[in-house]
């Protein structure tokens, strides 16, 4: 895409009402727009990153047997009343409203109830199980206090997968599979090294759950990390009993701040019992379906990547989530030959299927480099009088900054590598 056509622009100053690094950089770079507290729009660059993250999650969920669908955001109270969760005392973040013709409805905060009820239409026999269903859905949560940029918002997309199994053992098997898939996802988005499976509270559904925590001072959570074993314990459940169960000792742990980027937990039969999701086993006996729930917020993940991987000049996107594969920059100083050469290279990249952001604006080099650093595309190609004189183009990386003059043929190969 030609940068001159992009409707967004970069800014030198972050808005004063944003303190979180992720929001400051994402707004300065033109990735997101703050609509109101805790509500952000995703602009062209931001949406590209978001979609990349979403796609990585999708691929990994499909790989473990997930079937994608979309449930509704508007929620009828009926199913929620059956499980006792329509009450504000049970879920205090409901956005509720009324229908014109009478009757209440809510904006979905989570989707156990509607999906469980939906599954009763299709699950009858042990032959129908297990099943794994997921979606990317907008969740609405009337948080007391939105904060930390795009990390805790009132409207956000969540990938939520629900597992429906015949037994506790079958559930456990998938639970571990999903935990492994989660680690793959965090690795692919560039957070593998600093993300740890963390033993956590199970809330009102089960004794325990597992969180995935990415180390960052910007995090809301405090965890006790065992670097050697690569596991951690959330402060909430940091008890002698839990430590003994995990076979670790206090002296081996360090207390660190972290961002919760994922959470998986057992639901047992809490929802299947309340909503009548049962199946007939091989002997004809009726059994309750054993459920589990698995969430990741792509937006929060995007914010976390910015928090963890940016530097003083701006964002540094990992290759797999970058809005474009390469940032092509022309430094022409009004020289038409340089413009023609850069145009040609842009076409060449397109022809080779390399998505490029092409800075074809008539700006000076300094401004273009500063913008490129802020936007954070990992690979950069510069075309200028200098590179033309040297018979190639300049290739450099956002992260290490090293540059090299390479030929055109070589550049395509290197980018694809």
Provide the binding-site residues for RNA, judged by CB under 7 A: 9-20, 36-38, 91-93, 109-110, 112, 141, 143-148, 152, 202-206, 220, 263, 265, 267, 270, 293, 313, 331, 333-334, 363-367, 369-374, 382, 384-387, 394, 401, 403
- The Cα 358–Cα 372 span in angstroms is 10
User: For RNA, which is the closer residue by CB, 143 or 410?
Assistant: 143
Find the shortest distance in angstroms from Cβ 322 to RNA: 17
Positive/negative CA dihedral, 143, 148, 152, 155: positive
User: For RNA, which is the closer residue by CB, 102 or 366?
Assistant: 366
Find the shortest distance in angstroms from Cβ 65 to RNA: 20
- The Cα 129–Cα 279 span in angstroms is 9
Residue 104: other Cβ atoms inside 10 A: 12
- Cα–Cα distances (Å) from 381 to 48, 202, 309, 401, 405, in that order, read 20, 49, 21, 12, 10
Find the shortest distance in angstroms from Cβ 249 to RNA: 26
User: For RNA, which is the closer residue by CB, 11 or 127?
Assistant: 11
Residue 361: other Cβ atoms inside 10 A: 17
User: For RNA, which is the closer residue by CB, 309 or 331?
Assistant: 331
User: For RNA, which is the closer residue by CB, 37 or 78?
Assistant: 37
Find the shortest distance in angstroms from Cβ 368 to RNA: 8
3-class state of residue 313 by DSSP: coil
User: For RNA, which is the closer residue by CB, 10 or 304?
Assistant: 10
| Residue (of 219, 94, 200) closest to 147 by Cα position | 219
Q: Which two tokens stand for residue 286?
A: 């009726």
Find the shortest distance in angstroms from Cβ 240 to RNA: 21
Find the shortest distance in angstroms from Cβ 172 to RNA: 16
Burial string for 345-357 (b: 16+ CB within 10 Å, else e) reads: bbebbeeeebebb
- The Cα 83–Cα 332 span in angstroms is 66
């Amino acid at each position: 895409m030609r940068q001159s056509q992009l409707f967004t622009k970069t800014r030198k100053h972050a808005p004063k009402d944003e303190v979180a690094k992720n929001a400051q950089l994402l707004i300065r770079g033109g990735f997101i727009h703050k609509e109101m507290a805790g509500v952000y729009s995703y602009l062209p660059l931001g949406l590209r990153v978001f979609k990349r993250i979403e796609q990585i999650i999708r691929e990994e969920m499909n790989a473990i047997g997930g079937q994608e669908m979309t449930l509704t955001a508007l929620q009828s109270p009926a199913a929620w009343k059956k499980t006792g969760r329509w009450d504000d005392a049970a879920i205090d973040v409901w956005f509720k409203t009324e229908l014109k013709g009478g009757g209440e409805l809510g904006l979905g905060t989570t989707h156990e109830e509607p999906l469980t009820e939906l599954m009763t239409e299709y699950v009858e026999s042990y032959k129908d199980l297990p099943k794994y269903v997921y979606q990317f859905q907008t969740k609405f949560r009337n948080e007391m206090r939105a904060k930390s940029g795009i990390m805790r918002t009132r409207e956000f997309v969540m990938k939520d997968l629900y597992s429906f199994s015949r037994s506790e053992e079958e559930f456990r098997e998938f639970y571990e599979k999903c935990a492994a898939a989660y680690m793959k996802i965090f690795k692919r988005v560039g957070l593998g090294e600093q993300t740890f499976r963390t033993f956590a509270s199970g809330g009102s559904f089960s004794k325990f759950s597992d969180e995935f925590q990415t180390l960052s001072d910007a995090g809301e959570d405090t965890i006790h990390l065992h670097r050697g074993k690569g596991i951690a314990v959330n402060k909430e459940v940091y008890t002698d009993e839990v430590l003994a169960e995990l076979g670790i000792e206090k002296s081996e742990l360090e207390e660190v701040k972290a961002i919760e980027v994922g959470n998986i937990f057992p639901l047992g039969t809490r929802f299947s019992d309340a909503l009548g999701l049962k199946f007939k086993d091989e002997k004809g006996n009726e059994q309750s379906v054993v459920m589990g729930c698995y969430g990741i917020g792509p937006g929060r993940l995007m914010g976390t990547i910015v928090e963890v991987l940016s530097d003083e000049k701006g964002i540094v996107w990992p290759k797999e989530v970058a809005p474009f594969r390469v940032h092509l920059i022309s430094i022409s100083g009004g020289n038409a030959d340089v413009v023609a050469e850069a145009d040609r290279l842009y076409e060449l990249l397109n022809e080779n299927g390399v998505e490029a952001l092409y800075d074809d604006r008539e700006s000076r080099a300094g401004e273009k480099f500063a913008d490129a650093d802020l936007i954070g595309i990992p690979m950069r190609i510069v075309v200028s009088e200098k590179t033309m004189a040297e018979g190639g183009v300049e290739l450099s990386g956002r992260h290490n900054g090293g540059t090299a003059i390479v030929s055109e043929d070589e550049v395509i190969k290197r980018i694809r590598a």
